[in-house]
């Protein structure tokens, strides 16, 4: 009903929008704005296609290869707003990535030198697949800088695994994922040595074994790459480029680009065969020797007439297309047959070659400086970017005919259509990267500019350029996008979760169980975080102690993240609801060091503080002491205490009325409301201790203590009311 | 006292009333896009008319208007540049208004590989200036940025920002949006209220947050010591607005009581020469929830008011210059003791609303507005009244430290109920108009601070912290746009896991009614404060003259011309003087002995806007981005032997990385031993943390004890079936008894004198290090030695 009424109003309004003026308020109409800002009708149409109404959801999640930033970018299509940066190969302090113990160790163990590598180069992400379709569970990146591979869990958008490659010194910064995510394929890029004391340059293709777990645990998708089961195919020294994994008729095969001595090749590998071959162990890693792969007829190369930038396999697995000005479409069935039948034309560096002419479906001249292609929903349709022509060309790879183009104001390079690399590409949107980013009217902010990509509307016959998106802190190359609803993220962890393993941390601490344990110079602080205090608030250690704060965020409410740092000690952790993480440092400097919550969490966020005292050996300074209250001051506290009790009682009445209302309206039937009510109840339950305390101190006539505990009781009431009122508001909307 | 009492009474009541009176505006409307569902997702929609689009996306006419107000096609220009403190992310997210597109994360306190900040010798040394007491600090908590001012208006030259976790100030040059200076506060352990420029950028005000002893010494924590040793402070950093540099020598600090100081603002016009700083926890309360005391949050909010600090920085500077005030230089910072500030009438306190955040001087300099989070009112102070009280010495009393307290009623112009949790204020070009962010009520209140009445509210999603209007803290606010910095976004955006983005809401303030026209997620970091400058004040550069060191902006002494490239070896140092010329690095190949120090100076000869190059050494974790014209250096120890590709990536070309040549590091036994020893030390440091814990699935695929073998770094020296840096471990269990292995692993030194061990030490030139293996773990490691041997043997048999 609401929708119809709303829609009725707006459809009338919008009917008028293009031709006449919409009276929005007394002062301003759409025409005024158009005139004022110099917008055309087409601009307004583009704005309407991309602007996200408040609280709306984007259709797709886009994931960007960000080059040397080592950090992933998640954005939404079509609003092109960036939602998140996630530390992958580079440390990132907002998330505590590389700054807390758990993630520091994750990164250190991902280095053959046991160091935190300070950057990575990630250009082509790969999404996990089930039956050739994106399943929205995992995302993989290859590090072309420090030769690593990473897996991100799309349930909590955190990096779960970073593994170093034991053989490659130079990896291609992209991955290919097989149709059921059995293998994540990473190749070398530039030839390098596999052994520090040898000069022999080698190349290779690594099939990282991925252990899938169908069931999703409470803490995340449990799948992991298993280094022990992964296999590298050894190759002679080629410079290796982009690769892709086949599907359907080409399932079990992969293709990739290679070059040597000025000649370009596309290679074909029967990886089902390779992974079944006998291996030798090199650097504690399983390797299929080159000779065995050749003997086993598992690999061949096709020489290309010109250098290609990409090779991509069509959605149904029928063709693989090498991208260059004259783009060649290869028939997979023919290529497989040639490999199987050993119809070879010769050899390059010991690798058998197949004559391109015998396995080609055809070729098509697409333009000048053709960079990349992307597939879409329409059968046999793909898009090609012609960098020098400033054009995107729509073409049919079956009939090898052009079907239209769009002239652009920039030189397009990498292209992406949502779901494009899966078995079921979608239509309507195409993104094109603009590497140069030369815009006369775009405000520059110094020599270093962001990356840019354009959103192109491909829904109709005519393509239109809708939006210019800037991506800071990214040297953008490839990207992938998946339908929003395919990904099902969580909003909190079960209390005590080590988010990197997805399991309950041995350092999980619950309310009331906080403690400080010492053994020699080793101090473990088991603490908790909750709006708006850290327990413990005072920690005293000896100079030189090795101190670890193991903290658990006890919050259940969505978006109630706390951060934690100790001033000038260089450590930082981010504690999302339920997370446990640890910070270790050597307290090598004496003095008083404030620690605090770094994420604005509540009205009393600034009061969420504590003090670390580091005591030197043989301390001989003044002891100090407590100040005794005068009678007058004591009486003042007594009065304050009595006033506070009145406020507490009034507040309780309001809370009770909210609780009654919530119960009457069956809040428990609405999970989100229920979560808020549980949060409110949890806050109130915490108030029991302060109450016992203030009653006790009042009895003893210790009015200052009584007053302060009453104040703390009241703070819990306020927090309970805060959450309770959110619950009521939300339930009202739902009813 | 009468007003005080009145406030005292109703503050608590109002808090309750306000809390329950004003519901949080948790609206979950919108989501229009979801409602329109086509038969099959992803099918081409065909040519759509405007009406089709509006229908499909569920756009209201308000939405379309908002879209038109923010959508900025390539032929149009944005109007403002907003620089945000990134909070615990340590960079400065920078976006354009009104299109709300992020264009930069300007690095301040955190290394950033994309721009190379902290990766070249020059930028790492700049970061080093931010290290404290020798502690390497590679992140920061940037809080409050400020633009430099001339006559109380932005001049577009510099931006400064403080770091709450590692107190100090960074100076950013708006010509290239890069940091040029880092200064650390030698007195503070924490700061918050800064950086605020005085109207002619003579000084930058930086206030403490959490007090700490100035002597940086240990004192047992109790009330007496806290009041005696712990101190707050307000540092006036002397700034040269032409050179854009802070001078520590010319700076000075007001010692302040150990109240928890907060935000500040510098007076202008009538208030010129004065500064204003908020505080909370004037109770000087020490929490201790595990010591049986109520937490800080209870004790720090138990008084009904806190103190606004009012100080005369101009007079203080004059007195110091004239030598008429007793100051003491502590660790390089000139400090004015509280007693001297009192003696020379430099410092006053005024009661202010409880737990305040923003203190903001209005464009005329006549009024000071304070927002206190635990009071539902914003309080307006009249400078005329304050001056009169000071002149007439009309004080209600003195605080513990003898600082005169100006009575509230003599200073207050009035107060207005703006909602629960007022936090920060910004001004409008219209006289008397102010915008106040209201945290708990999740809205912005537009009100008149002269006539003391509320004009409008607009909701925020959710829990707004700071807000910023165009030039909203200068003498000439420009109106038009206001941005709410929402602390929670909860359900506003596509879900991206437990850690949510922040939400910045752009508000059109050109009309009488405020209108939200854009919701922008902040994808990384948590901006605390934002400053927005009109683009016409900025004139940034695109390229540097060839040979520029970008930190000093001077010609680098090691800048190299094309044709002059060369390699110099002096002792253990190999110094390379090279160029990047049109996509080629000279020299292309480098040959180095393992263990040598390498210093590569490269000059990027390009003068093209798009001539940016990333040069990297594969698998050496060494990389830097050379801007057009830049000269910069990479420094490293060639600790690993091998042949490593040297790569160059033209950032603005789609071609990808190009191989330049190889770094050949020739194996050297001694250097390799050093590498192994360094590795072993890192492992020992790691083991101070918890043990590395892979997930259950990974663990299942490891042999028993394999994780311990890895965690203690045994892999650095040992392999199975092969000699490495240490002896082959294959069948070690057959050669040595379990007891011997146990003793050897846990206490290697006791075996060094055994003849065969001595022989091996000669052979491998390495001694087995003591990795502090626990008794429990040594059993596991021995178990692994057996299992792995068995596995390798089996493989070899096959």
Lowest-confidence region among A498-507, A716-725, B1-10, B500-509: B1-10
In a domain, B128, yes or no: no
In a domain, residue B680? The reply is no
Q: Does residue A11 carry a pLDDT above 50?
A: no
Residue B772 domain boundaries: 689-797
Asked whether residue B701 carries a pLDDT value surpassing 80, the answer given is: yes
Q: List pLDDT tens digits, range A384-402.
A: 999 999 999 999 999 999 9
Query: What pLDDT score was predicted for residue B772?
Result: 87
Q: Say if residue A22's pLDDT is above 90.
A: no
**CB A156 within 8 Å of CB B497:** yes
DSSP state of B201: S
Same domain, B491 and B569: no
Q: Does one domain contain both B521 and B660?
A: no
The mean pLDDT of A256-265, rounded to a whole number, is: 97
Residue B3 pLDDT: 46
Please give the class, per CATH, of domain A60-486. mainly beta
* Average pLDDT value for residue range B295-318: 93
pLDDT tens digits for range B260-271:
999 999 999 999
Give the mean pLDDT of A681-694: 88
Predicted local distance difference test score (pLDDT) of residue B19: 39
Give me the pLDDT at residue A197, please: 78
Give the domain-ending residue among B537, B568, B588.
B537
Mean per-residue pLDDT for B578-597?
97
Give pLDDT, residue A10. Answer: 35
pLDDT at A258: 98
Residues of B within 8 A of A573 (CB-CB) are none
Of A83, A105, A733, which is closest to B521 when you measure between CB atoms? Answer: A83
**Does residue B559 sit in the same domain as residue B479?**
no
A 10 A CB-CB count for B145 gives 26
Q: pLDDT at position A7, please?
A: 33
In a shared domain, residues B289 and B403? yes
Mutate to test the interface with A, among B166, B297, B668 (most CBs of A within 10 A): B297
Give the tens place of pLDDT for each residue, A615-668. Answer: 999 999 899 998 888 999 999 999 999 999 998 998 888 888 888 999 999 999
Q: Return the number of other C-beta atoms located less than 10 Å from residue B567's C-beta.
A: 15
Residue B735 touches chain A, beta carbons under 8 Å? no
Tell me the pTM.
Answer: 0.93
- For chain B, what is the domain count? 3
Cβ of A442 under 8 Å from any chain B Cβ? yes
- Residue-wise pLDDT for A226-235, tens only, equals 999 999 999 9
**pLDDT of the residue at B75:** 95
* CB neighbour list of residue A61: distance below 8 Å, 6 or more residues apart: A74, A75, A76, A77, A83, A481, A482, A483, A484, A487, B494
The number of C-beta contacts closer than 8 angstroms across A and B is 750
Q: What is the pLDDT of residue A219?
A: 58
Confidence of residue B289 (pLDDT cuts 50, 70, 90): confident
pLDDT at site B525: 96
Cα A128–chain centre separation: 14
State which CATH number among 2.60.120.10, 2.60.40.420, 3.30.2320.80, 1.10.420.10 fits the domain covering A497-615: 2.60.40.420
Do residues B209 and B297 share a domain? Answer: yes
Query: Does residue B604 share a domain with residue B525?
Result: no
Q: Encode pLDDT of A142-184 as tens digits.
A: 999 999 999 999 999 999 999 999 999 999 999 999 999 999 9
Q: Please check whether residue B21 touches A, CB under 8 A.
A: no
Asked whether the predicted pLDDT for residue B7 surpasses 80, the reply is no
Report the CATH number that the domain containing residue B693 is assigned in CATH.
1.10.760.10
- Candidates A529, A608, A567, A602; CA nearest to B208 is A567
Looking at the fold, whether B156 and B191 belong to one and the same domain comes out as yes
Report which DSSP code applies to A52.
Answer: P
Q: What is the pLDDT at residue B39?
A: 55
Chain B residues within an 8 Å CB radius of A580: none
Same domain, B326 and B457: yes
What does the pLDDT average to over B65-75?
97
What pLDDT is stored for residue B348 in this prediction? 98
For the stretch A507-520, pLDDT in tens is: 999 988 999 999 99
Average pLDDT value for residue range B294-317:
93
Residue B124 belongs to some domain of the structure: no
Distance separating alpha carbons of residues A544 and B412, to the nearest angstrom:
51
- B734-748 tens-digit pLDDT: 999 999 999 999 999
Q: Is the pLDDT assigned to residue B607 strictly greater than 50?
A: yes
Query: Is residue B336 scored above 60 in pLDDT?
Result: yes
In-domain check, residue B133: no
Higher local confidence (pLDDT), B496 or B23: B496
Residue A215 has a pLDDT of 64
Pick the residue with more confidence: A570 or A727? A570
pLDDT at B528: 95
Residues in CB range of A688: below 8 A, 6 or more apart: none
Q: What is the mean pLDDT of residues B323-340?
A: 97
Report how far apart, in Å, the C-alpha atoms of A547 and of each of A313, A618, B26 are: 53, 20, 41
A733 touches chain B (CB under 8 A): yes
Question: Residue A6 above 60 pLDDT?
Answer: no
Q: Can you give the pLDDT at residue A663? A: 92
> Is pLDDT above 90 for A673?
no
The first and second tokens of residue B36, run together, are: 């329109």
Specify if B594 maps to a domain.
yes
Q: Mean pLDDT for chain A?
A: 92
User: Are residue B380 and residue B416 in the same domain, yes or no?
Assistant: yes
Residue B523 touches chain A, beta carbons under 8 Å: yes
Taking the Cβ of residue A559 and every Cβ of chain B, the question of whether any pair is shorter than 8 Å is answered with: yes
- Whether A326 has a pLDDT exceeding 80, the answer reads yes
What is the model's pLDDT at position A654?
A: 82
CA A223: distance to chain centroid? 16
User: Would you list the domain boundaries of chain A?
Assistant: 2-39, 60-486, 497-615, 631-734
CATH number at residue B634: 2.60.40.420
pLDDT of B648 reads: 98
pLDDT tens per residue across span B206-247: 999 999 999 999 999 999 999 999 999 999 999 999 999 999
Same domain for B467 and B491, yes or no, is: yes
Chain B residues 679-698 with a CB less than 8 Å from chain A? 679, 682-683, 686, 688-690, 692-698
Pairing of strands A609-615, A538-542: parallel
Same domain as B151, residue B31 = yes
What per-residue confidence (pLDDT) applies to A17?
Answer: 38
pLDDT value of position A359 = 98
B457-469 pLDDT, tens digit each: 998 888 899 999 9
The answer on B646 and B696 residing in a single domain is no
Q: What is the pLDDT of residue B213?
A: 98
Mind listing the pLDDT tens digit for each residue in A29-64?
Answer: 899 999 999 999 999 999 999 999 999 999 999 999
The answer to whether residue B610 scores a pLDDT higher than 90 is yes
| pLDDT score of A119 more than 50 | yes
pLDDT level of residue A221 (50, 70, 90 thresholds): low
B43 in a domain, yes or no?
Answer: no
Measure in Å the smallest separation between the Cα of B14 and chain A Cα atoms: 10
Domain end, chosen from B489, B515, B537, is at B537
Long-range contacts at A683-690 (CB < 8 A, ≥ 24 apart): A683/A716, A683/A719, A683/A720, A683/A723, A684/A655, A684/A716, A684/A717, A684/A720, A686/A511, A686/A530, A686/A716, A687/A712, A687/A713, A687/A716, A687/A717, A687/A720, A690/A716, A690/B294, A690/B298
CB contact under 8 A, B13 and A647: yes
pLDDT at residue B98 in the model = 98
On whether residue B595 sits in a domain, the answer given is: yes
Q: What is the DSSP string of A166-213?
A: SS-SSB-SB-EE-TTSSEEEEEB-S-EESSTT---EEEEEEEEEEE--
Lowest mean pLDDT among A720-729, B105-114, B782-791: A720-729
Longest Cα separation, chain B: 100
pLDDT reading at B21 higher than 80: no
Instruction: Classify residue B114: in a domain, yes or no.
Output: no
What is the C-alpha to C-alpha distance for residues B194 and B209, in angstroms, rounded to an integer? 10
CATH number, domain with residue B58: 2.130.10.10
Considering only CB atoms, B165 lies closest to which of A461, A501, A567, namely A567
Between A147-156, B299-308, B550-559, the lowest mean confidence (pLDDT) is in B299-308
pLDDT for residue B35 is more than 50:
no
pLDDT on residue A552: 98
Which of A245, A384, A261, A371 shows the shortest CA–CA distance to A320? A245
Note which residues in 58-97 of chain B have CB less than 8 A from chain A. 58-71, 73-78, 81, 86-91, 93-94, 96
Facing B498 at nearest CB: one of A458, A537, A577: A577
- The last residue of one of the domains, among B537, B567, B584, is B537
Q: Taking all residues of chain B, what is their mean pLDDT, rounded to a whole number?
A: 92
């Amino acid at each position: 009903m609401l929708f119809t009424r709303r829609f009725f109003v707006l459809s009338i309004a919008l009917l008028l929008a293009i031709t006449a003026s919409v009276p929005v308020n007394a002062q301003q109409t759409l025409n005024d704005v158009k005139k004022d800002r110099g917008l055309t009708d087409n601009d307004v149409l583009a704005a309407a296609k991309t602007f996200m109404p408040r609280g709306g959801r984007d259709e797709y999640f886009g994931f960007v290869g960000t080059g040397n930033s080592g950090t992933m970018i998640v954005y939404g299509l079509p609003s092109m707003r960036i939602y998140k940066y996630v530390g992958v190969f580079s440390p990132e302090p907002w998330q505590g990535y590389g700054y807390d113990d758990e993630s520091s160790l994750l990164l250190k163990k991902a280095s053959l030198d046991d160091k935190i590598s300070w950057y990575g180069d990630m250009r082509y992400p790969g999404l996990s697949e089930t039956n050739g379709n994106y399943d929205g569970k995992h995302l993989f990146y290859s590090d072309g800088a420090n030769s690593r591979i990473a897996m991100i869990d799309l349930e909590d958008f955190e990096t779960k695994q970073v593994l170093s490659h034991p053989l490659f010194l130079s990896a291609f910064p992209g991955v290919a994922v097989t149709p059921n995510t059995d293998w994540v394929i990473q190749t070398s890029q530039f030839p390098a040595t596999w052994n520090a004391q040898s000069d022999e340059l080698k190349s290779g293709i690594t099939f990282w074994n991925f252990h899938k777990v169908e069931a999703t645990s409470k803490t995340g998708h449990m799948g992991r790459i298993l280094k022990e089961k992964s296999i590298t195919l050894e190759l002679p020294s080629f410079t290796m480029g982009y690769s892709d994994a086949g599907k359907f008729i080409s399932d079990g095969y992969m293709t990739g680009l290679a070059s040597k001595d000025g000649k370009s090749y596309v290679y074909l590998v029967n990886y089902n065969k390779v992974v079944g071959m006998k291996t030798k162990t090199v650097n504690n890693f399983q390797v299929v020797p080159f000779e065995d792969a050749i003997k086993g007829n598992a690999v061949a190369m096709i020489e290309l007439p010109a250098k290609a930038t990409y090779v991509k396999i069509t959605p149904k697995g029928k063709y693989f297309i090498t991208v260059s000005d004259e783009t060649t479409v290869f028939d997979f069935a023919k290529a497989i047959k040639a490999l199987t039948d050993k119809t070879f034309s010769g050899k390059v560096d010991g690798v058998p070659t197949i004559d391109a002419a015998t396995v080609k479906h055809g070729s098509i001249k697409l333009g000048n400086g053709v960079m990349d292609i992307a597939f879409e929903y329409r059968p046999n349709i793909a898009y090609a970017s012609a960098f020098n022509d400033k054009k995107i060309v729509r073409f049919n790879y079956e009939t090898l005919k052009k079907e239209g183009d769009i002239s652009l104001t920039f030189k397009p390079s990498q292209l992406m259509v949502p779901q494009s690399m899966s078995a079921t590409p979608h239509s309507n949107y195409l993104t094109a990267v603009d590497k140069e980013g030369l815009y006369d009217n775009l405000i520059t902010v110094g020599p270093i500019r962001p990356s840019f990509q354009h959103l192109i509307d491909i829904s109709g016959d005519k393509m239109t350029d809708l939006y210019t998106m800037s991506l800071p802190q990214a040297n953008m190359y490839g990207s992938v996008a998946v339908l929003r609803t395919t990904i099902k993220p969580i909003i909190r962890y079960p209390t005590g979760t080590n988010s990197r393993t997805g399991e309950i941390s041995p350092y999980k601490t619950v309310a009331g169980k906080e403690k400080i344990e010492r053994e020699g110079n080793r101090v473990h602080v088991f603490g908790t975080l909750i709006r708006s205090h850290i327990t413990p608030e005072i920690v005293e250690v000896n100079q030189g102690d090795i101190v670890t704060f193991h903290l658990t965020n006890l919050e259940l409410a969505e978006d109630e993240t706390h951060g934690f740092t100790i001033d000038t000690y260089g450590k930082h952790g981010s504690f999302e609801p339920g997370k446990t993480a640890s910070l270790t440092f050597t307290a090598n400097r004496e003095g008083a060091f404030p620690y605090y919550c770094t994420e604005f969490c509540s009205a009393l966020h600034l009061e969420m503080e504590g003090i670390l005292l580091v005591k030197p050996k043989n301390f001989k300074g003044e002891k100090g002491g407590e100040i005794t209250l005068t009678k007058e001051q004591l009486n003042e506290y007594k009065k304050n205490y009595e006033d506070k009790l009145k406020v507490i009682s009034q507040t309780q009445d309001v809370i009770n009325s909210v609780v009654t209302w919530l119960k009457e309206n069956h809040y428990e039937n609405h999970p989100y409301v229920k979560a808020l009510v549980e949060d409110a109840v949890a806050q109130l339950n915490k108030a029991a201790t302060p109450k016992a305390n203030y009653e006790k101190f009042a009895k003893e006539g210790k009015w200052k203590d009584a007053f302060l505990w009453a104040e703390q009781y009241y703070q819990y009431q306020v927090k309970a009311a805060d959450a309770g009122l959110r619950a009521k508001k939300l339930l009202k909307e739902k009813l | 006292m009468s007003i005080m009492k009145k406030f005292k009474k109703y503050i608590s009541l109002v808090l309750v009333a306000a809390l329950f009176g004003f519901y949080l505006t948790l609206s979950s409307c919108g989501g229009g896009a979801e409602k329109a569902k086509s038969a099959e997702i992803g099918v081409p929609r065909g040519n759509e008319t405007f009406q089709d689009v509006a229908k499909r996306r569920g756009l209201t006419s308000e939405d379309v208007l908002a879209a038109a107000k923010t959508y900025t096609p390539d032929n149009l220009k944005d109007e403002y540049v907003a620089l945000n403190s990134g909070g615990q992310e340590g960079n400065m997210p920078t976006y354009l208004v009104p299109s709300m597109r992020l264009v930069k994360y300007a690095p301040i306190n955190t290394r950033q590989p994309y721009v190379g900040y902290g990766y070249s010798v020059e930028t790492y040394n700049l970061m080093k200036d931010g290290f404290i007491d020798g502690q390497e600090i590679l992140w920061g908590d940037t809080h409050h940025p400020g633009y430099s001012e001339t006559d109380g208006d932005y001049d577009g030259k510099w931006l400064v920002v403080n770091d709450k976790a590692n107190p100090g100030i960074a100076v950013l040059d708006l010509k290239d949006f890069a940091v040029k200076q880092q200064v650390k506060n030698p007195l503070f352990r924490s700061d918050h209220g800064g950086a605020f420029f005085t109207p002619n950028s003579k000084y930058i005000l930086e206030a403490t947050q959490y007090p700490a002893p100035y002597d940086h010494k240990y004192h047992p924590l109790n009330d007496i010591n806290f009041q005696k040793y712990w101190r707050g402070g307000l540092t006036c950093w002397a700034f040269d607005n032409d050179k854009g540099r802070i001078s520590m020598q010319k700076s000075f600090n007001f010692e302040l009581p150990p109240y928890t100081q907060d935000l500040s603002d510098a007076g202008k016009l009538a208030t010129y020469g004065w500064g204003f700083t908020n505080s909370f926890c004037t109770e000087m309360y020490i929490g201790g929830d595990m010591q049986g005391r109520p937490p800080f949050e209870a004790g720090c909010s138990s008084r009904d008011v806190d103190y606004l600090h009012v100080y005369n920085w101009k007079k203080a500077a004059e007195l110091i210059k004239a030598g008429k005030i007793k100051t003491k230089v502590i660790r390089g910072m000139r400090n004015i003791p509280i007693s001297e500030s009192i003696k020379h009438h430099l410092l006053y306190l005024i009661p202010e609303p409880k737990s305040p955040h923003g203190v903001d001087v209005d464009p005329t300099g006549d009024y000071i507005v304070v927002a206190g989070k635990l009071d539902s009112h914003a309080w307006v102070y009249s400078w005329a009244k304050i001056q009169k009280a000071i002149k007439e010495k009309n004080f209600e009393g003195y605080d513990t430290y003898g600082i005169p307290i100006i009575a509230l009623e003599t200073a207050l112009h009035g107060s207005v109920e703006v909602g629960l949790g007022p936090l920060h204020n910004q001004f409008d070009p219209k006289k008397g108009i102010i915008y106040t962010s209201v945290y708990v009520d999740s809205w912005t209140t537009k009100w008149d601070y002269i006539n003391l009445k509320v004009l409008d509210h607009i909701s925020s999603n959710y829990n707004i912290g700071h807000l910023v209007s165009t030039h909203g803290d200068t003498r000439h606010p420009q109106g038009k746009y206001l941005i709410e910095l929402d602390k929670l976004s909860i359900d506003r955006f596509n879900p991206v896991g437990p850690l949510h983005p922040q939400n910045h809401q752009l508000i059109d303030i050109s009309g009488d009614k405020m209108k939200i026209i854009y919701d922008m997620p902040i994808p990384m970091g948590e901006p605390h404060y934002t400053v927005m400058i009109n683009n016409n004040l900025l004139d940034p550069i695109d390229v540097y003259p060839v040979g520029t060191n970008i930190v000093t902006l001077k010609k680098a002494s090691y800048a190299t011309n094309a044709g002059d490239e060369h390699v110099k070896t002096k002792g253990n140092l190999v110094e390379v003087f090279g160029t990047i010329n049109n996509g080629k690095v000279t020299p292309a190949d480098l040959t180095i002995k393992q263990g040598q120090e390498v210093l590569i100076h490269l000059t990027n000869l390009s003068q093209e806007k798009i001539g940016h190059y990333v040069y990297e050494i594969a698998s050496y974790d060494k990389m830097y981005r050379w801007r057009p014209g830049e000269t910069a250096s990479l420094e490293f120890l060639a600790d690993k032997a091998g042949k490593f590709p040297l790569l160059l990536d033209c950032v603005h070309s789609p071609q990808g990385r190009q191989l330049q040549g190889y770094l050949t590091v020739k194996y050297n036994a001694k250097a390799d031993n050093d590498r192994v020893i360094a590795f072993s030390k890192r492992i020992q440091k790691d083991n101070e943390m918890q043990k590395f814990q892979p997930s259950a699935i990974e663990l299942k695929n490891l042999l028993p004890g394999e994780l311990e073998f890895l965690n203690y770094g045994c892999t650095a020296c040992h392999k199975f079936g092969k000699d490495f840096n240490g002896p082959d471990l294959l069948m070690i269990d057959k050669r040595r008894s379990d007891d011997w292995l146990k003793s050897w692993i846990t206490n290697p030194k006791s075996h060094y004198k055994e003849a065969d061990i001595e022989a091996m030490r000669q052979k491998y030139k390495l001694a087995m290090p003591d990795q502090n293996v626990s008794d429990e773990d040594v059993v596991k490691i021995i178990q692994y030695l057996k299992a792995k041997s068995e596995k390798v043997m089996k493989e070899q048999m096959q």
